[in-house]
Amino acid sequence: MMKFNAARAMLFAALIAGPINAAAQQPHNLVLFVPDGLRALLVTPESAPTMAAVRDEGVNFRNPHSLFPTFTMANASGLSTGHSLGDTGVFSNTLFSGYPIPPTNTVTPFIENDTTLGNIDAHFGGSFISEESVLAAARQQGLSTAAIGKLGPTLLFDHTDRTGEPSIIFDDWTGSEHGIPLSQEISDALTAAGLPLKAPSRGENGKPGNATTPGTLVANLAQQAYFAEVAAKIVLPLFKARNKPFVLVFWSRDPDGTQHYQGDSLNQHTPGINGPTSRAALKNADDNLKTIRQALDDLGLAASTDIVIAADHGFSTISKESATSPAAKMHYADVTPGFLPPGFLAIDIARALDLPLYDANNNNAPVGEGTHPKAGNGLIGRNAAAPDVVVAANGGSDLVYVLNRDRALVARIVEALFAQDYVSGLFVDDDLGPIAGTLALSDINLRGSAKMPVPSIVVNFRSFSTGCEQPVLCTVEVADTALQQGQGMHGSFSRADTMNFMAAIGPSFKRGYADNNPVSNADIGQTLARVVGLKIPFRGSLMGRVIEEALPGGAEPAVTTQTLRAQPAANALATALSYSQVGTPRYFSAAGFPGRTVGLTEQRAEGR
């Protein structure tokens, strides 16, 4: 009798809960807005009223985390798949591909490029990322899908379907011979709306300047206004007419692009990325979101649409100063005397190993006295076609690949890097360590199921504050880049670069909720899949979590916070990693050598 009553009670509960659960799981529309390079603390009702309203009225993610290395394509892979970089293999913006990529035949491609993405996909059997993206899954499960914005990360959200339909793709190359084609339906709609079929260029905003000429003094207004109009006047009305759920990704190049190139601070740490040009770029991104929100209101879609805002990373001002680097002591025609040149890491490693250096982006030309790798990437060894070491330069951190997997060679490189004042923390492939003073790639989720070659060493560069009230808003970092001191960069393990802006609003989220728990871009990817109701087969194990506490009825998770510290090297340097954990996922706040990384704090230490 008891068994019968229990079974009947379970059935009754299921009948009651069924419609409730079905209603709760009813898929909503989704807009993911990515303000590239937006620092969390910059958003105020005065500086960015639209984003501030989403944060204050919806969910305020007060403890956000970019994935490290804190670069665009790396975090685009996390946002799009819900996995950390050890699974996606997108370890940075510039990678070692393992084979020459045409037309330049470089083995260190910059992958913010639709053609390069297609080439790498083809080389790795159709997709160089094992994990399925949220946008591709939505397309395959019958939702309307579109990605609009910055070249590279926009396509990464659905890079295996390059037809222009059913996923609609707009980026810098739209309308050009290299761009993803537009369907006839979209072309006709553009013409009817009086919008061009070709995306405008960045114009003045695309001028980076050089060592003697300041960069841009204007935000990326025209190009992004076009993309916002495409979203508001073409894509959203089309999705409304289809009368089925949709996912729209809008990747705003600003404030990132303008912060990189801004000319407010040539060769000076201040104002750096806090000058008027960067502030205009923040306003520009906010205006784009305002245009999209207004279109949702006008089309009657606001009540059924979730809006998630997630910047890919934070930002810092560039420093090119070092008292120890041999590269900084040489003279170059295009570098301010005494400053670090592009490719300083490759130059210094080659000198320490007493091996020739070749330019990976200049037909493997030798790099001699007074020259530097054009894009910073270097091939080190007796034979440029079969180098011993490859350096992929990226900015606030670099990737070093030791191709023969020689542990002794890795140890020599690590020893040489410990002598440089611009280094703040080293991470070594688990199979090549342990090495005193370093932590392992697995400690920071860079060892997983990736198809792409895994770096042997990840080098984090020094960061420091210029002394403002909020150090993460005036952080300066050494950067391996062709840009100048005083311009903007990211990629380091400082809290300034890991602290990206995040917020959400809509029917799937709580209202007026401040989430103090750690949240990462991989979590955003997993949560997007949940709120849209997608079923995605996951292959790797380095997954983010669904942000349950931000959803109606969701409970607060248990969080632990600690610091992992390497065994000290002979010179007493030891890489430390400050992180939190919720269940399995880890959230990395800052790492490096204490005193050389902004935001690195020492909680309960766990030795390694």
pLDDT tens digit sequence for 592-602:
999 999 999 85
Q: Diameter of the chain by CA atoms? A: 91
Q: Summarize pLDDT for 53-69 with one digit per residue, the tens.
A: 999 999 999 999 999 99
Model pLDDT, residue 530: 97
How distant is the alpha carbon of residue 347 from its chain centre? Answer: 27
**Torsion angle, alpha carbons of 449, 96, 339, 494, to 10:** -10
Whether residue 336 has pLDDT greater than 90 = yes
Q: Summarize pLDDT for 379-433 with one digit per residue, the tens.
A: 999 999 999 999 999 999 999 999 999 999 999 999 999 999 999 999 999 999 9
Residue 90's identity, in one-letter code, is: V
Give bridge partners of residue 168 from the DSSP assignment.
Answer: 146
Query: Cα separation of 284 and 181, whole Å?
Result: 27
What does pTM read for this prediction?
0.95
Q: Summarize pLDDT for 27-39 with one digit per residue, the tens.
A: 699 999 999 999 9
| Peptide linkage before 552 cis (omega within 30 of 0) | no
Q: Summarize pLDDT for 520-542 with one digit per residue, the tens.
A: 999 999 999 999 999 999 999 99
Q: What value does the mean pLDDT take over residues 348-353?
A: 98
Q: What value does the mean pLDDT take over residues 476-490?
A: 98
User: In this predicted structure, which of 16-20, 88-92, 238-242 has the lowest mean pLDDT?
Assistant: 16-20
Whether residue 20 has pLDDT greater than 90 = no
Whether residue 4 has pLDDT greater than 90 = no
Query: Cα separation of 170 and 35, whole Å?
Result: 16
Q: Which of 31, 72, 76, 78 is nearest to 51 (CA)?
A: 31
Query: Cα separation of 288 and 292, whole Å?
Result: 7
Give bridge partners of residue 305 from the DSSP assignment.
Answer: 29
Give bridge partners of residue 503 from the DSSP assignment.
Answer: 60, 309
The answer as to CATH 1.10.3720.10 being correct for domain 28-316+495-550 is no
- Copy the structure tokens of residue 445: 């989720």
List the chain domain ranges: 28-316+495-550, 318-484, 560-607
Q: Which of 406, 315, 359, 414 is nearest to 38 (CA)?
A: 315
Q: Which residues contact 359 (CB under 8 A, 6 or more apart)?
A: 343, 365, 366, 367, 373, 374, 377, 378, 379
Model pLDDT, residue 601: 80
Residue 162 contacts residue 147 (beta carbons within 8 Å): no
Q: What value does the mean pLDDT take over residues 268-297?
A: 98
Residue 4's identity, in one-letter code, is: F
